[in-house]
Structure 1
């Protein structure tokens, strides 16, 4: 394969939109479709860097499930996430989960092409349609969380409440296990709890975890 040609995997359970993304990728001589599948588990390659880009469409589901999908996608390539963004997850939480680019299902083709090229070359891309929403989310982040938790502590709380071990949380957040231990200790102190069950309860009460979220297997 020529230097400068980037591999793209497309993950979308809607055949029509998946075919449309295939056509867009095919219009760029520096990109090629290595895989086009319905689910992440259908990808033919595994391991870090298996693809240069993975375009993943977030189906309508619980925010925590969507974030896990983004995190899993980041394990095989740079995620370019497509969603309606009219419901959770937020742009910020998606980026924290590992997204390297965010587009909307209403994005112009020129914006999608630009996002593909930017992410392929190692950059970060945000569709112009999402700029105002992103700025609004950043403004809200300036206000301190009522519980006094920092963004990374909230992210740690979510993963722990979902049933993940500290080692699994560390892998998903790109941190050392020792750092996750430190976050967990801070969480117990700030929330005045002593165990994982109470952390999960507090995560739900503070609105950081939907009550119907399924724990990790």
Structure 2
């Protein structure tokens, strides 16, 4: 079961999220803190963390996200005003985004997905993410074919080649061929690089 950390300056909200996550049966709460400094003062092994940005304003949040991302993948809670842009947060290390009004089920889904190596944007932020990050999302600059783009999306979400083959109605050998072509076109040596590129190009939001 993935171990998560919760960082939120509001004690009542933090306690409620701790309880909901623990009761979900999908994650364990390994750490809970008022701020990033308090979290990083501990040494509990972590698979994913959620950091509330609604009390932050602009760029000062970015170094804090980067420090947490050095330890584990990060989901951020964002408001419509004041939070840094998606591009800056991605560069800082964020791999999941949820709106501040999302319920616990969405937060658990985000933590589980990111903790397993995937990427998550909650439905309430998808339009904003696309508008900011993918102005030309119908064209792939590396010349990936549509089926290669689809394969890249599944790889970035953490699926194995066998699972991707089942989703796309292909043989695993065909998916292997697509993956080799994608790595060559993108000059990517591993899954982490493929995931980063997929995020930057917005292929996870289509």
Q: TM-score, normalised by structure 1?
A: 0.57
Q: Which residue of 2 aligns with 1:6?
A: 2
Q: Which residue of 2 aligns with 1:131?
A: 126
Q: Which residue of 1 aligns with 2:154?
A: none
Residue 117 of structure 2, aligned match among 122, 129, 133 = 122
d(CA) in 2 for partners of 1:122 and 1:112? Answer: 16
Q: CA deviation at 1:30?
A: 3.2
d(CA) in 1 for partners of 2:55 and 2:136? Answer: 24
Aligned 8 A contact 2:54 2:100 in 1? no
Q: Which residue of 2 aligns with 1:45?
A: 42
Aligned 8 A contact 1:59 1:66 in 2? no
Q: Which residue of 2 aligns with 1:102?
A: 97
Q: Please report the RMSD computed on the Cα atoms of aligned residues, expressed in angstroms.
A: 2.1
Aligned 8 A contact 1:92 1:134 in 2? no
Q: Which runs of 5+ in 2 are unaligned?
A: 138-206
Q: Which residue of 1 aligns with 2:107?
A: 112
Q: CA deviation at 1:141?
A: 8.2
Q: CA deviation at 1:102?
A: 0.6
Q: Which residue of 1 aligns with 2:19?
A: 23
Where 2:24 maps in the other structure, the secondary structure is coil
d(CA) in 2 for partners of 1:107 and 1:59? Answer: 13
Q: CA deviation at 1:24?
A: 2.1
Q: Which runs of 5+ in 1 are unaligned?
A: 143-217
Q: Which residue of 2 aligns with 1:205?
A: none
d(CA) in 1 for partners of 2:61 and 2:17? Answer: 20
Q: Which residue of 2 aligns with 1:207?
A: none
Length, aligned pairs only = 136
